[in-house]
Amino acid sequence: MVATVKREALPPLLAGRDDALTVLFDAAHVIERALELRFAEIGVGAAQQRVLLHALLADGPLTPTRIATLLAQEPQSVSSLLIRLEQRGLLVRGVDEMDRRRMLISLTDTGRAVAERSLTLFDELLDELRSALGSDGLAALQQTAAVMKDLASE
């Protein structure tokens, strides 16, 4: 699936450049697009998938503020995302019994199933990358990505 995403889908201002940052940016775009196409099979976008995945992997219910932090978003921008997921029956909001001012977000059974399926789709793409890059190539990519993530967080 990675190989089927066409170059025309890349941002036109960056087309034709081959510096390291542009190549990484283009690769991230291609991978994001490949994931979006896969997640469309289960009716969620990448941002929705990230919310569901964080909820799946959390030790318990999450607050909207915690979800915003995990997504590196402002809490206000996450609100509409949570509303859409709740309307689709993928998550439920409840009140924290210890602090009734706090809202808690949990997956429904359907949300858990969608999150687990999205994780499988993610892993399938990872397997394709592993096949295309080989173990050494994937390790180099992981190392480069870790450096870029560290730089971005400074």
Q: Write the single-letter amino acid at 142.
A: Q
Given pLDDT bands bounded at 50, 70 and 90, which one contains residue 31? confident
Q: pLDDT band for position 14 (50/70/90)?
A: low
pLDDT tens digits for range 58-84: 989 999 999 999 998 998 889 999 999
pLDDT higher than 80, residue 153: no
Q: Can you give the pTM of this predicted structure?
A: 0.78
Measured N-to-C along each axis, helices 75-87 and 64-71 cross at an angle, to the nearest 10 degrees, of 110
In the structure, what pLDDT confidence band is assigned to residue 12 with cuts at 50, 70 and 90?
very low
| pLDDT tens column, 81-91 | 999 999 999 99
Read off the pLDDT of each residue in 104-125 and give the average, rounded to a whole number.
95
Q: Note the pLDDT of residue 7.
A: 42
Return the pLDDT at 135. Answer: 87
Written as one string, the DSSP assignment of 58-81 is SSS-B-HHHHHHHHT--HHHHHHH
Among the listed residues 97, 123, 111, the one whose alpha carbon sits nearest the alpha carbon of residue 55? 111
Q: Is the CATH number of domain 18-153 3.30.830.10?
A: no
Instruction: Give the contacts of 78 (CB within 8 A, at least 6 positions apart).
Output: 51, 64, 67, 68, 71
Domain boundaries, the chain: 18-153
